[in-house]
Amino acid sequence: MKKHPFLMTVICLFALMQTTYAQFNKNVVIAHRGAWKVSNLPENSIASLNHAVSLGCYGSEFDVYLTKDDILVVNHNKDFYGIDIETATYQELLAKKHPNGESIPTAEAYLKEGLKQKGTKLIFELKPSKLGKERVLKAAEMSVALVKKVGAEKWVDYITFDRDAGKHLAKLAPNAEVAYLNGDLTPAEAKADGFKGIDYHFKKFEENPTWIKDAQKLGLTVNVWTVNDAEKMKSLLDQKVDYITTNEPELLFDILNKK
């Protein structure tokens, strides 16, 4: 077969990219809604994502809803400065802005911003829908399709409080890390549902002190939210949790740097 030097160069460069683009930061720090608190940035904004990236966090968590006209958008609360997200169109949501001047980000814009860097994972929380199960399952399908469309599969881990949506995500994206948030499943039950991790409030682990080790023995990752107290951070680090989600990533990094 005749060799084409230019084609071979392109193939080699592509192979190199494949091996280098997913070198994510190796720490436990997940910035909750981005890194916003210390710098007084809007939660779930592009600015808070970029600050989490600049800190070197393993992950930056963000929350996603589906609008009335089927646009996935990033916001924690059910409303965006008083406008109900699920019953509004995206155009209607543009009537309000974050204090820093940003409009509500679409999930597509957020993911594309995240793809500009190679160190921080994008922790995609699919929010439950008040409009019913069919709506959140549709949002799950659209979320996986969007992640594939923009080429963010290696960057994205999924989390959700909705058990059915989480199971659906796990089936739609079998290679993705999908973790359950609600705290009502034992590690064994979460594993049986197809989850690859449990991501529970710290009180759940205080009430069930064997769950961290139980989960890890089953091959599940353990993430704990939302931990903003230094002593709790130290205790969880001593227990070898995989990740800690916090509003205080700077504090957690300070503790890690002193270990």
The domain that holds 250 is classified in CATH as: 3.20.20.190
Does some domain include residue 4?
A: no
What gap in Å lies between CA 82 and CA 60, rounded to an integer? 25
- Token look-up 């769950």 returns 211
Query: For the residues 251-255, what does the mean pLDDT come to?
Result: 99
* pLDDT band (50, 70, 90) for residue 97: very high
Read off the pLDDT band of 187 (50, 70, 90). Answer: very high
Has residue 168 got a pLDDT over 50? Answer: yes
Residue 130 identity (one-letter amino acid):
K
Q: Is the pLDDT of residue 9 over 60?
A: no
Q: Please give the average per-residue pLDDT across 87-105, as a whole number.
A: 99
Whether the pLDDT of residue 14 is over 80: the answer is no
Per-residue pLDDT of 25-67, as tens digits, reads 999 999 999 999 999 999 999 999 999 999 999 999 999 999 9
Could you tell me the two tokens for 200? 């529970």
Domain extent, residue 167, equals: 26-258
Contacts of 192 by beta carbon, 8 Å cutoff, 6+ apart: none
Taking the C-alpha atoms of residue 145 and residue 20, their distance in angstroms, rounded to an integer, is: 24
Which is nearest to 54 in space by CA: 122, 120, 2? Answer: 120
Kindly state whether residue 15 falls inside one of the protein's structural domains: no
Model pLDDT, residue 10: 46
Question: Beta strands of 32-113 (E only): which ranges?
Answer: 59-66, 72-74, 79-80, 83-84
pLDDT tens string 127-159: 999 999 999 999 999 999 999 999 999 999 999
Residue 242 forms part of a structural domain: yes
Residue at 143 is within a domain: yes
Strand 197-201 to 221-225 pairing: parallel
Please count the structural domains in the chain. 1
Give the per-residue pLDDT at 259. Answer: 83
- pLDDT for 4 equals 54
Candidate from 19-23, 87-91, 251-255 with smallest mean pLDDT: 19-23
* Contact criterion met (CB below 8 Å) for 198 and 220: yes
Q: Contact, 87 vs 150, CB < 8 A?
A: no
Residue 8, in any domain of the structure: no
Query: Could you tell me if residue 190 is inside a domain?
Result: yes
Confidence of residue 22 (pLDDT cuts 50, 70, 90): low
- At residue 162, the pLDDT reads 99
Alpha helices in the chain (DSSP H): 5-20, 46-55, 90-93, 107-114, 133-150, 163-172, 187-192, 202-207, 211-217, 230-238, 249-258
Query: So what's the pLDDT on residue 139?
Result: 99
**Residue 2 belongs to some domain of the structure:** no
Average pLDDT over all residues of the chain: 94
Among 18-22, 59-63, 99-103, 226-230, the range scoring the smallest mean pLDDT is 18-22
Would you say residue 230 has pLDDT above 70? Answer: yes
Read off the pLDDT band of 21 (50, 70, 90): low
Indicate the pTM of the whole model.
Answer: 0.92
Mean pLDDT of 115-119: 98
Confidence of residue 12 (pLDDT cuts 50, 70, 90): very low
Query: Is residue 9, in this structure, part of any structural domain at all?
Result: no
